[in-house]
Chain A
Amino acid sequence: MKFRANLLIGGALFGLVVIAGLFAPLLAHTDPVMGANLMNAELPPDTEFWFGTDAQGRDIYSRVLHGARISLTVGIVSQLINTVIGVCLGLSAGYWGGWWDDFVSGLTNLMLAIPSLIFALAIMAILNPGLTSLLIALGLTNWSFTCRLARASALSLKSQGYVQAAKVLGYSDVRIMLTQLLPNMLGPIIVIGTLGMGGAVLAEASLSFLGLGIRPPYPSWGSMLSDARDQITTAPWISIFPGLAIFVTVLGLNLLGDGLRDILDPQSRTRRA
């Protein structure tokens, strides 16, 4: 069955990245920042340096492992911020309607009209480069899809009998949103969140590549790629392995998102004849 394959492969790939990130200090051979040794510069992969070394002679294998920590942190935390913003705005807009809905919908459309990476670039240009700024920049720029989804779900769910019943039972609006609407829209939101995490990992890599994200010498996959630009023909392994890591993470997250969608989405209620 197709959906199981999506879920399994996606889960396995993403699981691999999570394990790499969690146990990076144990799995790494050298310190990713301090391990520079110009004697070993630009060595191709061998039994000692599995992924080879970079221009400063740092072990790329160790740096890729540590890079997973940064990518995962950025992906998970920024997407969590996005999800919270998107759900709060979309859920309340759909449920309350009126001027608040007009305002939120307008804001969402505005956000969708601005390319989120450019927006994040602008925020990063104002803030100092670094992990916290990156989380803020990516966390504030990618909530519009979640917001739209939450709004649409709230609109369709609020006419359900159990929502009416909750009102009649005296529930406050906030309680209705949290206990009646939110649990019933969570499935698709998790899917969007998972897919968004892949996007955030890519965005982090792009920003770091441009020098506006994680600054060297910290081992972000994006900044590693950026460093490796000049040696791409002479020492391709310096760019291949961080690139591969990004590829595996994003692919894993996208497959996982697709797999979750197949499980969570179809209301497999069979109709009686």
Chain B
Amino acid sequence: MTAQPLLEVQNLRIDLAIGNARFPAVQDVSFTIEKGETLGLVGESGCGKSITALALIGLLRPPLSLAGGTIRFNGKDIQNLSSAEMRKLRGNRISMIFQEPMTALNPLSPVGRQIAEMFVLHKGATWKEAERHAIEALASVRVPAPDRRVKDYPHQLSGGMRQRVMIAIALACGPDLLLADEPTTALDVTVQAEILDLIRELSAAKGTAVLMISHDLGLIANMCRRVGVMYAGRIVEHRAAEDIFRTPSHPYTKGLVASLPLLGARAQHGQKRLQEIEGVVPPVADFPVGCRFNPRCYAATDVCHVDDPAVTELRHGGYVRCHHHD
């Protein structure tokens, strides 16, 4: 193992253009992912977690644009790659799975062909070899009867099966990094559990690093060793997964943890009123001055309305972005 991380993101900034004005939808986001590691990004809609992933894979489209920062992948800066160079990376070294596999799959092409395409495109295989690889790939994501399923069209498969196909496509070329954006949100819990197990096992077997993105704090903590909590375009707290629930430091994280009706909590503490976080998530064009959480924060003081808090390293690892953290 080299000391160099697989992915190093520094001070990432993504701007959203509305008319002639530009707003920082993502700002000062920095994180690293080691080879084979699973990192979690958790946050609500509009916090910038999904567009961060899109930026990594070079898929930001107007009105969004990369406005600063560096993305270093395998020791090489990739934020300024040409689209041809990015295409070579995408699907091959970095790949991505999405929430709704139906929209990400081509409805007019059998799923086997869509998997085979990856081998033809990136590995220079012939279609005949690629078809065989496709059956193996489907078997590896535990689709039953893969030799028959390769001929199916996406609409003939259930949501869980489609997500397996997406994973087979994403992992076909043995990428170094898999970006998983809410991969199980549209699925039932039992199917979700299977898909999560699959991602966990396959990434461990192939040494693939995973960036797991979700709004579900419990899921992220379950899947990842380290977690970044995003709020309004910033990582406000970055911790080891178990610490996020046990000793949250940022008022937003604390609020989230306390507001969730966790399984088993009622049996322990009775049906208590859940702790609420006041207010609403601000839209990008309306991020508050100072700390972006200040209008909703119980601990906010004058300084929070003026100064943007800097990163504070925590004693037991991780960091927090708050003037009044524990």
Q: Do A and B come from one complex?
A: yes
Residues of A within 8 A of B (CB): 272-273
B75 on the interface (CB 8 Å rule)? Answer: no
- 12 A-B contact pairs sorted by A residue (CB < 8 Å): A272-B46, A272-B283, A272-B284, A273-B16, A273-B25, A273-B45, A273-B46, A273-B48, A273-B50, A273-B51, A273-B64, A273-B284
Give the distance to chain B from A149, nearest Cβ to Cβ, in Å. Answer: 25
State in angstroms the CA–CA spacing of A273 and B283 once bound together.
Answer: 10
Contacts of A272 in B (CB 8 A): 45-46, 283-284
Residue of A nearest to B45 (CB): A272
Contacts of B48 in A (CB 8 A): 273
Contacts of B284 in A (CB 8 A): 272-273
Identify 10 new A-B residue pairs, CB closer than 8 A, beyond the known A272-B284, A273-B48, A273-B51.
A272-B45, A272-B46, A272-B283, A273-B16, A273-B25, A273-B45, A273-B46, A273-B50, A273-B64, A273-B284
* Contacting residues of chain B (278-296) with chain A, CB-CB under 8 angstroms: 283-284
Contacts of A273 in B (CB 8 A): 16, 25, 45-46, 48, 50-51, 64, 284
State in angstroms the CA–CA spacing of A273 and B53 once bound together.
Answer: 11
Residue of B nearest to A273 (CB): B51
Cβ proximity bits B184-203 to A, threshold 8 Å, 1 near / 0 not: 00000000000000000000
Give the distance to chain A from B290, nearest Cβ to Cβ, in Å. Answer: 22
Contacts of B51 in A (CB 8 A): 273
Contacts of B50 in A (CB 8 A): 273
* Contacting residues of chain B (40-86) with chain A, CB-CB under 8 angstroms: 45-46, 48, 50-51, 64
How many residues of chain B get a CB closer than 8 Å to chain A's CBs? Answer: 10
State in angstroms the CA–CA spacing of A96 and B177 once bound together.
Answer: 51
Contacts of B25 in A (CB 8 A): 273
State in angstroms the CA–CA spacing of A101 and B283 once bound together.
Answer: 43
10 nearest A-B residue pairs (beta carbon): A272-B46, A273-B51, A272-B45, A273-B50, A273-B25, A273-B46, A273-B48, A273-B64, A272-B283, A273-B284
Give the distance to chain A from B271, nearest Cβ to Cβ, in Å. Answer: 28
Contacts of B16 in A (CB 8 A): 273
Residue of A nearest to B18 (CB): A270
State in angstroms the CA–CA spacing of A272 and B285 once bound together.
Answer: 11
State in angstroms the CA–CA spacing of A273 and B182 once bound together.
Answer: 13
Give the distance to chain A from B231, nearest Cβ to Cβ, in Å. Answer: 14
State in angstroms the CA–CA spacing of A64 and B312 once bound together.
Answer: 81
Give the distance to chain A from B45, nearest Cβ to Cβ, in Å. Answer: 5
* Contacting residues of chain B (8-49) with chain A, CB-CB under 8 angstroms: 16, 25, 45-46, 48
Give the distance to chain B from A270, nearest Cβ to Cβ, in Å. Answer: 8
Residue of B nearest to A272 (CB): B46
Contacts of B283 in A (CB 8 A): 272
State in angstroms the CA–CA spacing of A272 and B48 once bound together.
Answer: 9
State in angstroms the CA–CA spacing of A191 and B25 once bound together.
Answer: 37
State in angstroms the CA–CA spacing of A273 and B52 once bound together.
Answer: 10
Give the distance to chain A from B251, nearest Cβ to Cβ, in Å. Answer: 23
Contacts of B45 in A (CB 8 A): 272-273
State in angstroms the CA–CA spacing of A272 and B283 once bound together.
Answer: 8
Give the distance to chain A from B61, nearest Cβ to Cβ, in Å. Answer: 11
Give the distance to chain A from B119, nearest Cβ to Cβ, in Å. Answer: 32
Give the distance to chain A from B18, nearest Cβ to Cβ, in Å. Answer: 8
Contacts of B64 in A (CB 8 A): 273
Residue of A nearest to B16 (CB): A273
State in angstroms the CA–CA spacing of A272 and B44 once bound together.
Answer: 11
State in angstroms the CA–CA spacing of A273 and B51 once bound together.
Answer: 6
Give the distance to chain A from B264, nearest Cβ to Cβ, in Å. Answer: 32
State in angstroms the CA–CA spacing of A272 and B49 once bound together.
Answer: 11
Give the distance to chain B from A142, nearest Cβ to Cβ, in Å. Answer: 35
State in angstroms the CA–CA spacing of A273 and B233 once bound together.
Answer: 10
State in angstroms the CA–CA spacing of A273 and B50 once bound together.
Answer: 7
Give the distance to chain A from B304, nearest Cβ to Cβ, in Å. Answer: 25
Residue of A nearest to B26 (CB): A273
State in angstroms the CA–CA spacing of A273 and B61 once bound together.
Answer: 12
Give the distance to chain B from A4, nearest Cβ to Cβ, in Å. Answer: 16
State in angstroms the CA–CA spacing of A185 and B50 once bound together.
Answer: 33
State in angstroms the CA–CA spacing of A273 and B25 once bound together.
Answer: 9
Give the distance to chain A from B224, nearest Cβ to Cβ, in Å. Answer: 21
State in angstroms the CA–CA spacing of A273 and B59 once bound together.
Answer: 13
Give the distance to chain B from A119, nearest Cβ to Cβ, in Å. Answer: 38
State in angstroms the CA–CA spacing of A273 and B48 once bound together.
Answer: 6
Give the distance to chain B from A69, nearest Cβ to Cβ, in Å. Answer: 45
State in angstroms the CA–CA spacing of A111 and B325 once bound together.
Answer: 72
State in angstroms the CA–CA spacing of A186 and B50 once bound together.
Answer: 36
Residue of A nearest to B233 (CB): A273
Residue of A nearest to B64 (CB): A273
Give the distance to chain A from B230, nearest Cβ to Cβ, in Å. Answer: 11
Give the distance to chain B from A154, nearest Cβ to Cβ, in Å. Answer: 25
Give the distance to chain A from B284, nearest Cβ to Cβ, in Å. Answer: 8
